[in-house]
Structure 1
Amino acid sequence: NYSESFNPASLTDQAQDIADGFLDPETGNQIELGMKNEWLDGQFMTTLAVYRIEKQNVAQANPLNTGDDDGIPALLNLGEVHSQVLEWTLVGDLTDNLTVTANYAYNETEVVKGVTNDSLTNTFDSKHFANAPRHQAGIWTRYDINALDSAIAFGMDYVGEQFSLDGQIVKPHTIFDMSWTTQWDQTQVRLNLKNIFDKEYAVSGFSERNGHFPGEPRNITLELSHKF
């Protein structure tokens, strides 16, 4: 698969930088190659995809911005960003009642041509594109309790190390979730428990002055649905 993209900056983003000149539109292209395969007479299915994305004029928040009318643009157009990605997924039945879904992604993203303003050189000299983890993985299992028309599911998501806009390290984290679902005729009840162990973590990083963006704490939701 091959595709090209053209994405003008939004009016909101343009308004932030109108005093410093308009943002250029983001352009890009993507080349992707993928493969699917079934194993053990269809008991398992795997997919494998590799792709390369090239983007020009990516709009990025400027960590050196201190507020309105400071003469420093709130957003910047980076010169060029490249991403090389490998993704793998597995879906299958371990037993008649137990299913599993697993995935892994490797993402190597670099700022190939950064901003030229000398005052911003140190911010982007690492060439790491902000908030783009190299490693992400997840696994989700579901056990069906047929006698009760119910199912119990448990899973985890892992996000590897990231870098903030200031080049600070955003620590990797692993989050565990689970759910319980039951069915009565046309009515379904689902109980979701996210971040079981109430782990404190950052989903992404901004700047040294403002810190990182915190992840969602433990929460429980109850869903009720009915088909008419």
Structure 2
Amino acid sequence: HFKRGMKLNHVRTNKSMAISNPVMFLASDRELADEAWAGDIIGIPNHGQLRIGDTLTEGEELRVSDLPSFAPELLQSCRAGDPLKSKHLEKALMQFAEEGAAKVFKPNIGSGFIIGVIGSLQFDVLASRIELEYGLPVRFEPSQFNSARWISGGKTDLDKFSSENKQHIATDHDNDLVFLTRLQWDIDRVERDYPEINLSATKEMMR
């Protein structure tokens, strides 16, 4: 049973949130939700603290296994038409990454972002949305990489691997490490030379 004003635990960040202005929707109308019951749908206005799939509880450490995130099939570089607007571009890309509209990778070396999608038309859709919603023209360009794998392993092993493969290392919008590759040979090399490192085409999400 939900009541307006109650404090809930945001499981992903382990921070308390006071839900002061929840809204309930009915057709095109909306009104403040003083209380809600199982099955009701409410909206929680916030300034970016919440992501799609996040869990709020009354204190329980409840974690929900999300659908796995799959590696994209196409990668391109994305740059703002105006280099001074790179921060605006980052904000836009992070929003779309949280929506699941694209995978966004920030290489550890160099500037710009690598965007991963399933179909080539998604690049056109993203460019259109960024310009429409943020007033920011962008351009997509071929990337030197054509594959991405999430990296896991012990901290010491990860630090060593990242240091020795800087040109391939990036982070996603959750700040998790990603290995960007050009050839299957790169993946085979990692499996041979770094048996303690795991490269995965999927990322298990916990909310």
Same fold (TM over 0.5): no
Q: Give the TM-score normalised by structure 1.
A: 0.21
- Identify the structure with the greater helix proportion: 2
- Identify the structure with the greater strand proportion: 1
| Larger RCO (alpha carbons 8 Å, 6+ apart) | 2
